[in-house]
């Protein structure tokens, strides 16, 4: 598993939630 990959996905989710 890629820690960076999962982090990017989390960031995308956060961005979507924030917006």
Output the CA–CA distances (angstroms, integers) from residue 2 to 17, 18, 19, in the order listed.
23, 24, 26
Residue 15 confidence (pLDDT) above 80: no
The residue ranking higher by pLDDT, 4 or 8, is 8
- State how far the Cα of 16 lies from the Cα of 1, in Å rounded to an integer: 23
Residue 1 confidence (pLDDT) above 60: no
Residue 6's pLDDT band, with cuts at 50, 70 and 90, is confident
Residue 18's pLDDT band, with cuts at 50, 70 and 90, is low
**Percent of the chain residues past pLDDT 90, beyond the cut:** 0
């Amino acid at each position: 598993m890629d820690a960076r990959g999962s982090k990017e996905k989390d960031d995308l989710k956060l961005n979507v939630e924030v917006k």
